[in-house]
Amino acid sequence: MKQITKYVIKNSLKRIFLYRACLVRLKRMGVEKVFSFTLGHETGVSAAQVRKDFSEFGIKGNKRGGYEIDELLTIMENIFHKNKDHNIVLIGMGNMGQSLSKYSRFIQRNMNIVATFDIDPFKQKMRSEIQVYPMNRLKEIIERFRVKVAIIAVTEISAQEVADELIRHGIMGIVNFAPVLLKVPQNIVVNNVNLCDELESVIYIVHNNMKADSFKNIELLYKDMRY
Amino acid sequence: MKQITKYVIKNSLKRIFLYRACLVRLKRMGVEKVFSFTLGHETGVSAAQVRKDFSEFGIKGNKRGGYEIDELLTIMENIFHKNKDHNIVLIGMGNMGQSLSKYSRFIQRNMNIVATFDIDPFKQKMRSEIQVYPMNRLKEIIERFRVKVAIIAVTEISAQEVADELIRHGIMGIVNFAPVLLKVPQNIVVNNVNLCDELESVIYIVHNNMKADSFKNIELLYKDMRY
DNA sequence: CGTATTTTGTGATTTGTTTCACATCAAATA
DNA sequence: TATTTGATGTGAAACAAATCACAAAATACG
């Protein structure tokens, strides 16, 4: 059954990413051990939360000794299957697609965009580090590189169609930059990234803070008047 | 006090964005009224959740009659201050920055990138729809356009420094694409967008689902053996 | 070697979020 | 106009996530 599946990415998983980034930084600085307190402090998380998260992912430390950074990173690599490479395809070589295809951090983290696709033959001729293929070669490439995850960066209108085709050819996970909720079978993972919403929510909070601030002032004033 | 502030963007707010996008679509299709059930169904949310969210944002419908789409959209515009334009600055005209500067959806939603900045004089000469300024003109531009929100798309190394400067000149909210946790005063809103993490979390879930699936098969097998 | 100290790991508790269930109201109908 | 119908709005209940608090373990130190 096709439907809007909600693979909510758990906060604990997001925090694990935070921890990892922080650990990498600490390691570069020459630090070898951390306590839950330190790691929490650096990532804006309570020490207990760090330990609970670790416990959820089956990570054990040393009583009194804290956690060995190298050891932690190795465990995390295993959790995230960083020992193997991950082949990705990217559909849509418009503005955002092109930028994503050049995004070097993906490679640094063993995620390789092995091929990009576009319906526009002009974009296919474009000189780009990664080959741009026409859509009819999707199946072939996905199979050849055993691709399981795709990035959709096409327009709102064609996103659903592209998703359907990807899934037909064996894609199991999608990062979707198009502002539509994709209808997919239950077992397919979809992560929607909506840049407008990200920006807009900041604007919203900033505005409301400013309003809240003015209320705060009124309250303060009131207190001053009473005492 | 500077610290890692956690302005967690509430799920209810994210859902309001979902509802709005859906309402816009329904409106385009000629629909005039929705029930919480319909809207929920289209966005993958329960009807009760829709009503609770609306209640949180002070949105009232008509008993029995559901919600007038036009009315809803007007209320949401007010909530998100869509009556006014919002001026944004963008720092860092590398790969991601350039792409964001051309991202047309921002404009469609009344969010205008009024100026972009880069340290690199070469990028400043680059032909681009939006003027690229050197960093020393930040203060001037922020003040002239009364900018309150900024996008950071610089490297990991300079992100904190840039954030400090932005805040010094009156920026109250930041969407941060650099993979660092910015340390900012309490009242500053930061929304981190980490594209690697978005992709990586999908890979993680896909992998674990596949593992879970194989377990499921074992379970099924077991059942078959028993009955 | 025993005691003090410090940090983990995890039940118990609190806090927050989602769902349930139903009173309430507005429209439709007779 | 009275009655039925059907959707909202919201306390109460169930569920989920985060914090607290402390036993257990490992190290340091006398």
Contact B187 A213 (CB under 8 A): yes
Give all strands (DSSP E) within chain B, no chain letters.
2-3, 33-34, 67-68, 86-91, 111-117, 132-133, 149-152, 173-176, 184-185, 189-192
User: What CATH number does the domain containing A187 carry?
Assistant: 3.40.50.720
Mark whether A179 and A205 lie in a shared domain. no
The predicted pLDDT at position A213 comes to 58
Does A2 reside within a domain?
no
Q: What's the structural domain count of chain A?
A: 3
Could you write out the DSSP letters of every residue in B48-107? Answer: HHHHHHHHHTT---BTTTBEEHHHHHHHHHHHTTTTS-EEEEEE--SHHHHHHHT-HHHH
Last residue of a domain, one of A55, A79, A103: A79
B152 C-beta less than 7 Å away from strand C = no
- Asked if residue A143 belongs to a domain, the reply is yes
Together in a domain, B62 and B132: no
The stretches in chain A having pLDDT less than 50 are 215-227
- Between residues 18 and 37 of chain A, which touch chain B (CB distance below 8 Å)? 18, 21-22
Which pLDDT score is estimated for A2?
82
* Cβ atoms of residues A117 and A123 within 8 Å: no
DSSP assignment letter at B204? H
The residue range of the domain holding A212 is 195-227
Distance B63 CA to C19 C1' (A): 21
| Same domain membership, residue A226 and residue A158 | no
3-state secondary structure of B116: strand
What CATH number is given to the structural domain containing B39?
1.10.10.10
Q: Are residues B179 and B200 in the same domain?
A: no
Would the CB atoms of A209 and B172 count as touching at under 8 Å? yes
B22 and B73, same domain (yes or no): yes
On whether residue A15 sits in a domain, the answer given is yes
Same structural domain for residues B184 and B96? yes
Instruction: Using pLDDT thresholds of 50, 70 and 90, give the confidence band for residue B221.
Output: very low
Q: How far apart are CA A148 and CA B204, in angstroms?
A: 11
Nearest to B106 among A44, A173, A199 (CB): A199
Q: Name chain A contacts of B149, Cβ cutoff 8 Å.
A: 199, 202-203, 206
Cα A28 from chain centroid (whole Å): 23
Q: How confident is the model at residue B226, as a pLDDT?
A: 28
Instruction: Report how far residue B112's alpha carbon sits from residue B86's, in angstroms, rounded to the nearest whole number.
Output: 6
Q: How far is CA A124 from the centre of its chain?
A: 27
A191–B202 C-beta distance less than 8 A:
yes
Q: What is the mean pLDDT of residues B165-178?
A: 98
Query: B216 falls in which pLDDT band (50, 70, 90)?
Result: very low
Whether A117 and A207 share a structural domain? no
**Phi and psi, residue B111, nearest 5°:** -110, 110
| Position B214 confidence tier, pLDDT thresholds 50, 70, 90 | low
Q: From the CA of A71 to the C1' of D29: give the distance in Å.
A: 28
Percent of chain B with pLDDT over 70: 92
Which pLDDT value is given to residue A125? 84
> In the numeric block, which tokens belong to residue A222?
């009131």
Query: Does any domain span residue B1?
Result: no
**Burial of A224: CB neighbours in 10 Å, binned 0-12, 13-18, 19+:** exposed
**How distant is C1' of C2 from CA of A35, in Å?**
27
pLDDT of residue B204: 95
Q: Is residue B169 part of a domain?
A: yes
The predicted pLDDT at position B227 comes to 28
B6 touches chain A (CB under 8 A): yes
| Integer Cα distance of B193 and B180 in angstroms | 10
Return the number of other C-beta atoms located less than 10 Å from residue A29's C-beta.
Answer: 7
Q: Are A99 and A171 in a shared domain?
A: yes
Let me know: does A49 contact A15? Beta carbons within 8 Å: yes
Q: Which amino acid, one-letter code, is at B60? A: K
Q: Which of A56, A99, A129 to mutate to test the interface with B (most CBs of B within 10 A)?
A: A99
Domain boundary among A29, A53, A79: A79
Mutate which of B109, B203, B208, B215 to disrupt the A interface (most A C-beta within 10 Å)? B203
**Covered bases, chain C (protein CB within 7 Å):** 5-11, 17-21, 24-27
Indicate yes or no: CB of B203 within 8 angstroms of CB of A44.
no
pLDDT digits (tens, 9 = 90+) for B147-163: 999 999 999 999 999 99
What is the number of other CB atoms lying within 10 angstroms of the CB of residue A198?
19
| A1 found inside a domain | no
Question: pLDDT (tens digit, 9 = 90+) per residue, B94-104?
Answer: 999 999 999 99
Asked if A169 and A200 sit in the same domain, the reply is no
Residues A171 and A96 in one domain: yes
The predicted-structure confidence for B31-76, as pLDDT tens digits, reads as follows: 999 999 999 999 999 999 999 999 999 999 999 999 999 999 999 9
- Are B189 and A195 a contacting pair at CB < 8 A? no
**Distance of alpha carbon B79 from alpha carbon B126, whole angstroms:** 38
Residues of B (196-215) whose Cβ lies below 8 Å from A: 196-207, 209-210, 213
Lowest mean pLDDT among A23-32, A181-190, B123-132, B200-209: B123-132
Q: What's the confidence (pLDDT) of residue B223?
A: 33
pLDDT of residue A118: 97
Q: Tell me, what's the pLDDT at A196? A: 97
B130 close contact with A: CB closer than 8 A = no
Residues 6+ apart with CB under 8 A from B202: A149, A173, A174, A175, A189, A191
Does residue A169 share a domain with residue A179? yes
- Of A79, A106, A133, which residue constitutes the final position of a domain? A79
- Residue at shortest CA–C1' distance from C16: B10
**Is strand C less than 7 A from the beta carbon of A94?**
no
**Residue with the two structure tokens 């047309």:** B104
* CB of A6 within 7 Å of some strand C atom: no
Does A25 share its domain with A109? no
Q: Does any domain span residue B33?
A: yes
**Measured CA distances, B99 to A103, A225, B128, B131 (Å):** 11, 53, 11, 14
Predicted pLDDT at B84: 87
